[in-house]
Chain A
Amino acid sequence: MTVYAFYLFDRQGNCLCYREWSRPKLMKDATQDQKNTFGVLFALKNFCKKLSPRQPGGQLKNYSTDVYSLHYFESPTGLRFVLLTSRGSGDLSGVLRDIYLNVYVDTVTRNPLYVPGESIQSQLFFSKLDTAIKALACFQDNEENKSIS
């Protein structure tokens, strides 16, 4: 199992942060990739809500394909946290919620030098995010994958 990449978008679709660990497929155009990801999630999220038998309900948490899983958490203020992993990593939307509560709020929201809506430059955020991701059980295999390839 592996962690591939992390995205953070605001409500307007600005990508505040993109990090990748071992993403085998290289993105030709990072901006386009981010835009597409946001757009697809936006549509998917609304679709999930529409299908829900109970209202309010139908929050998107994750989806899986034959090779990867996408995990999703959205804050009430419209921040979208996205994590791409290999299959079988379980439900990580709770982990994304923790990243919002404990990493984002502490290192971005409270940083006097951060301007809302701009891409995140805080080294502290990156390192705390990195620590949180590397602590995941499913991250353990990242290194192994590297040594095999």
Chain B
Amino acid sequence: MSSSRASTWNKLGDAAYAKSEKVSADLVALTYGSFVREIIKDFEEPDQVNKELEKLGYNIGIRLIEDFLAKSGISNCSSFEESAEIISRVAFKMFLGIRATVSNWNSEHNSCSIIFDENPLAEYVELPPEYTHSLFYSNLLCGVIRGALEMVQIIVECEFVKDQLRGDDTNEINIRFKEMLQEQVPWNDEE
């Protein structure tokens, strides 16, 4: 990836964030906290909660991508590598006010990590001991990334590998590229 493209994306992210209408970050953090708590009440099992959060994130992702494309000035994401950079430089900035970095590319270039030190969703949160090593509080984000990319025909899998709420030094989401979808004819005439 060339540095000029990186700086273009950075600028797009900054501009999208700067010009957008804002809400209180506390409102977002508190609402997310209350929502997670509701899900924990319904599912109890941390693994199930993680799964549910990912699923709900996916539902958000398939909508949020429209907003992202409409307001960010990014017109398409043609490759996985480019998409990862756009997510970290433009989308994270636009929706979470932070810039993430992409690293840990594997040799096949089909897996990488998105790393971010600040997490506005997890502000004011402390996990009780029984959840510290099992719950990924912000697992919603994995689903958002998966859903958003699927809408532009890129199929990925995401998972948290580091989370500051568990005492890790940073937050890290691993993204693995699966396939590029080809457009299918939705039905044929003989039907």
Chain A interface residues (CB < 8 Å from chain B)? 11-13, 35, 38-39, 42, 75-79, 100-101, 104-105, 109-110, 116
For the complex, what is the distance from the CA of A88 to the CA of B136, rounded to whole Å? 57
B64, B70, B185: the one contacting A101 at CB < 8 Å is B70
Query: Within the complex, what minimum Cβ distance (angstroms) separates B34 from chain A?
Result: 16
B59, B75, B183, B186: the one contacting A76 at CB < 8 Å is B75
Query: Within the complex, what minimum Cβ distance (angstroms) separates A125 from chain B?
Result: 13
Closest 6 CB pairs of A and B: A13-B186, A77-B151, A101-B70, A109-B66, A105-B70, A76-B76
Chain B interface residues (CB < 8 Å from chain A)? 59, 62-67, 69-71, 75-77, 151-153, 183, 185-187, 189
Question: Can you list 25 A-B pairs, Cβ within 8 angstroms, ordered by A?
Answer: A12-B186, A13-B186, A13-B187, A38-B186, A39-B187, A39-B189, A42-B185, A42-B186, A75-B66, A75-B69, A76-B69, A76-B75, A76-B77, A77-B152, A100-B66, A104-B66, A105-B66, A105-B70, A105-B71, A109-B63, A109-B66, A109-B67, A110-B63, A116-B59, A116-B62
Using known A-B contacts A12-B186, A76-B76, determine if residue A116 contacts B152 with beta carbons closer than 8 Å.
Answer: no
Query: Within the complex, what minimum Cβ distance (angstroms) separates B38 from chain A?
Result: 15
Chain A residues within 8 Å of B76, by CB: 76
Query: Within the complex, what minimum Cβ distance (angstroms) separates A75 from chain B?
Result: 7
Most chain A beta-carbon contacts within 10 A, residue among B66, B69, B77, B151: B66
Query: Within the complex, what minimum Cβ distance (angstroms) separates A8 from chain B?
Result: 12
Interchain CB contact under 8 A, A110 and B77: no
Query: Within the complex, what minimum Cβ distance (angstroms) separates B27 from chain A?
Result: 15
Interchain CB contact under 8 A, A116 and B77: no
Most chain A beta-carbon contacts within 10 A, residue among B151, B185, B189: B151
Interchain CB contact under 8 A, B186 and A110: no
Question: Which residue on chain B has the smallest CB distance to residue A79?
Answer: B66
Interchain CB contact under 8 A, A116 and B63: yes
For the complex, what is the distance from the CA of A79 to the CA of B152, rounded to whole Å? 11
Query: Within the complex, what minimum Cβ distance (angstroms) separates B11 from chain A?
Result: 20
For the complex, what is the distance from the CA of A35 to the CA of B63, rounded to whole Å? 24
Chain B residues within 8 Å of A105, by CB: 66-67, 70-71
Interchain CB contact under 8 A, A110 and B67: yes
Chain A residues within 8 Å of B153, by CB: 78
Chain B residues within 8 Å of A13, by CB: 186-187
For the complex, what is the distance from the CA of A11 to the CA of B67, rounded to whole Å? 17
Chain A residues within 8 Å of B152, by CB: 76-77
Chain A residues within 8 Å of B186, by CB: 12-13, 38, 42
For the complex, what is the distance from the CA of A37 to the CA of B85, rounded to whole Å? 37
Chain A residues within 8 Å of B151, by CB: 77-78
